[in-house]
Every structure is written in C-alpha cells, then in structure tokens.
C-alpha cells in the first residue's frame, strides 16, 4: 500500500484538515466529502490587515508557533511531526475564538520574526534555490508559488 493510500484510508467525510497552507494539500488529491468535510488554513486564520499599507500580512508557521505558543516551539528546520503538533495546538487554542484570534494576529504583526532560514542564506543553500515565492531571489528558474 502506498503512503498516499495509507493517508487516505485514515481520512473520511467527518475529518477536518488543519493546514498552514491549503494549497500544500493539492498534491494529495483529496476529495471534499470523501476524505474531509472541511479544511482550516492557519495562514489565513492568522492573517493581519494593515490599514496603513492596505494589505494583509501572512505569517510563517514558525512565527505563529514561537510567538503564540512559546519561544522554541518550532526550530528551523523542524520535523513534519513537530509542525503538525504546533498546528493542532494553534487550532485548539485559537480557532472559534475571534477575540483571542484577533489579539494573536496583532501580536504576530508587532513581534518581528527572526530572519528565515532562506533569507539567512540569501535564498540559496548548498547550491539549492530556496526561493519558492519571490522571483527576484530565485536562482533556479522554477515557477514561483503564488
């Protein structure tokens, strides 16, 4: 049985998926109502609108976890298991509580995150391009994720 088949066998129409970016789930080819009933995108749940800049800030899972759950909750890089546990803790602590979530978004916007791993190494590490989202830092020419 493939890993994907094993994952799908654990899912069902009563499952709520928690993700930091729902688009990351697309390669799994999951069908709504068969594999899950709903999906919560924590990157959107904790987005922050700045009237001054007239835009939304989206924060990394690392910044969310270490700012809202405690410093050292996640390290860079960390395991998928640690990320999944952090996402569940964020969901359990904030989801369904709009006042607490709004306070969390304000905190995320005011606490400056440390330099990302990619930025620390100028978006190239051991010859591997680390820029998935910014064309101006990409050294490999792969399509940019939007």
User: Can you tell me the distance from the alpha carbon of 82 to that of 72, in angstroms, rounded to the nearest whole number?
Assistant: 11
Out of 33, 138, 143, 145, point to the residue binding Zn ion (CB under 5 A).
138
How many chain residues interact with Zn ion (CB under 5 A)? 5
To the nearest whole angstrom, how small is the minimum distance from the Cβ of residue 145 to Zn ion? Answer: 10
- Identify which of residues 32 and 120 has a Cβ nearer to Zn ion in the complex: 120
- Identify which of residues 50 and 122 has a Cβ nearer to Zn ion in the complex: 122
Piece of the chain touching Zn ion by CB under 5 A; list 46-54, 70-78, 98-106, 131-139: 131-139
Out of 140, 143, 145, 146, point to the residue binding Zn ion (CB under 5 A).
140
- Burial class, 46, CB count within 10 angstroms (exposed 0-12 / middle 13-18 / buried 19+): buried
Residue 129 binding Zn ion, by CB under 5 A: yes
Q: Roughly what angle, to the nearest 10 degrees, separates helices 61-68 and 98-110? A: 110
- Burial class, 36, CB count within 10 angstroms (exposed 0-12 / middle 13-18 / buried 19+): middle
DSSP state for residue 32 in the 8-state scheme: B
- Identify which of residues 7 and 142 has a Cβ nearer to Zn ion in the complex: 142
Q: Which residues pair with 40 in a beta bridge?
A: 18
To the nearest whole angstrom, how small is the minimum distance from the Cβ of residue 135 to Zn ion? Answer: 8
User: Can you tell me the distance from the alpha carbon of 79 to that of 102, in angstroms, rounded to the nearest whole number?
Assistant: 28
To the nearest whole angstrom, how small is the minimum distance from the Cβ of residue 29 to Zn ion? Answer: 25
Piece of the chain touching Zn ion by CB under 5 A; list 6-14, 21-29, 53-61, 123-131: 123-131
Quick one: which H or E segment has residue 66?
helix 61-68
Would you tell me which residues interact with Zn ion (CB under 5 A)?
129, 131, 138, 140, 142
């Amino acid at each position: 049985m493939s890993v994907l088949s094993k994952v799908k066998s654990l899912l069902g129409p009563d499952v709520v998926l928690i993700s930091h970016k729902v688009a990351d789930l697309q390669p799994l080819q999951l069908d709504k109502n068969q594999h899950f009933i709903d999906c919560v995108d924590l990157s959107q749940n904790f987005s922050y609108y700045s009237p001054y800049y007239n835009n939304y800030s989206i924060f990394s899972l690392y910044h969310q976890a270490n700012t809202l759950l405690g410093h050292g909750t996640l390290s860079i890089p960390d395991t998928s298991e640690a990320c999944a546990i952090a996402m569940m803790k964020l969901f359990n602590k904030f989801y369904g509580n709009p006042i607490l979530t709004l306070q969390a978004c304000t905190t995320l916007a005011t606490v400056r995150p440390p330099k990302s791993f990619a930025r620390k190494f100028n978006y190239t590490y051991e010859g591997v391009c680390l820029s998935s989202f910014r064309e101006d830092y990409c050294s490999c020419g792969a399509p940019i994720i939007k």
